[in-house]
Amino acid sequence: MPTILFAAPALWSEYRDPLPAALAEAGLSDARLVTEADPAEVDYIIYAPASPLQDFTPYSRAKAVLNLWAGVERIVGNPTLTQPLCRMVDPGLTEGMVEWVVGHTLRHHLGMDRHIVNPGHVWDPTCPPLARERPVTILGMGALGSACAAALRALNFPVTGWSRTAKPGSLHGEDGLRQALSRAAILVTLLPKTPETENLLNADRLALLPRGAVILNPGRGALIDDEALLAALESGQVGQATLDVFRVEPLPPDHPYWSHPKVTVTPHIAADTRAVTAARVIAENIRRGEAGEPFLHLVDRGRGY
């Protein structure tokens, strides 16, 4: 009978019903799901970045830490964490991200803003091009990037993907990045925050985009050099940026992004972990841990994601 510590108190009300149901579905109805426990008795820790639990040292018997977030940058470098760390790959979260990315891509592709905000009642019959004429580049072709690519391709957008390792049909490496940026009418960043990806979109790389390209960043704020982006928006090199994530969240009230006419701020809502589907992912990993099978979605600490 494993003891599972739910160490994300702010989320307990969302998970208190779905988790026992998912554990039962996974054949773990006898598991002990608790919100407080003697660390020496804990077999699994369910964690979120705002968890008060930050010192994992006393959890000497824990077989895994199961993160409720896809991004792990706030835990992966914790020096007290010696247990395996699994990140969240949740079908509900993925669905949400696909909707956000497709929605904001279509907004820019169709030029919706011109008609939604049209105080002069201008009759401008300019028709947008077809999706097949609007190349989209996605940086990061993991769980989320590849799902967004599939949805955009289904709408006929020509999608170029770029990731760290070689994958069929997508680019990698510095040359690959140059190619991917140079063809991006719309650029979507779905990379994790790691030492390698921080400030990836600096002034030199923004200069590689076609003039007037649109940037959608639901990845992490640190992927973009904010000063460089503001300068590129000013010069017209970047036409619009829709940003969901920021170096400091909530975005400070005096941050220039709030009032910039070419920036749309969304408050880190691109995709939320959904309790019912995420609980099944957690339960499956606990089942695997109990059966001695490899965990799903293990984080590589060296890589940082």
Helix, strand or coil, per DSSP, at residue 146? helix
Near ligand NDP by CB under 6 A: residue from 53, 141, 149, 206: 141
End-to-end CA distance of the chain: 30
Q: Which residue of 4, 5, 8, 71 would you call a contact of ligand OXD, by CB under 6 A? A: 71
Q: State phi, psi for 26 to the nearest 5 degrees.
A: -85, 5
Binding mask 145-184 for ligand NDP (x = CB under 6 A): x-----------------xxx-------------------
Q: In whole angstroms, how close is the CB of 104 to ligand OXD at the nearest point?
A: 16
Alpha carbon distance 69, 48 (integer Å): 6
User: Phi, psi (5° rounding) for residue 171?
Assistant: -95, 165
Residue 68 CB, nearest distance to ligand OXD (Å)? 7
| Binding range to ligand NDP, per CB under 6 A, among 54-62, 112-120, 130-138, 186-194 | 186-194
Q: Are 193 and 150 in contact (CB under 8 A)?
A: no
CB of 70 to ligand OXD, least distance (A): 4
**Residue 222, CB half-sphere, CA atoms under 13 Å: how many?**
12
151 binds ligand OXD (CB under 6 A): no
- Would you call 268 a catalytic residue per the annotation? yes
Catalytic residue among 153, 172, 268, 274: 268
CA gap 200, 189 in Å, rounded:
10
Site for ligand NDP in 225-264 (CB under 6 A): 244-245
Q: Which of 11, 45, 70, 143 binds ligand OXD (CB under 6 A)?
A: 70
Q: Which amino acid is at 86?
A: C
Asked if 197 touches ligand NDP (CB under 6 A), the answer is: yes
CB-CB neighbours of 166 under 10 Å: 10
